[in-house]
Amino acid sequence: MTRALVVDSYTVADVDSVVAKARRGDPSALEALYRAFEVPVYNLARRICRTVEDAEDVLQETFLEVARSIRTYRGDGSLWGWIRAIASSKALMKLRRNKYRDTDELHEEVTAHRRDDHLLRMDLEAALDRLPDVSRAVVWLHDVEGYTHAEIADMMGKTTSFSKSQLARAHVRLRRWLGEEVKA
CB 160 within 8 A of CB 114: no
DSSP codes of every residue in 88-150: HHHHHHHHHHTT---SHHHHHHHTGGGGGGGGSPPPHHHHHHHS-HHHHHHHIIIIIS---HH
CB of 113 to another protein, least distance (A): 26
Q: How many CA atoms lie within 13 A of 153 on its CB side?
A: 13
Q: Which of residues 5, 106, 110, 126 is near another protein by CB under 8 A? A: 5
Number of residues lying near another protein (CB under 8 A): 49
128 scored as a contact of another protein (CB under 8 A): yes
What does the binding site for another protein look like in residue numbers (CB under 8 A)?
Answer: 3, 5, 25, 27, 30-31, 34-35, 38-40, 42-43, 46-47, 52, 55-56, 59-61, 63-64, 67-69, 93, 96-97, 124-125, 128, 139-140, 143-144, 164-165, 167-169, 171-172, 174-175, 178, 180, 182, 184
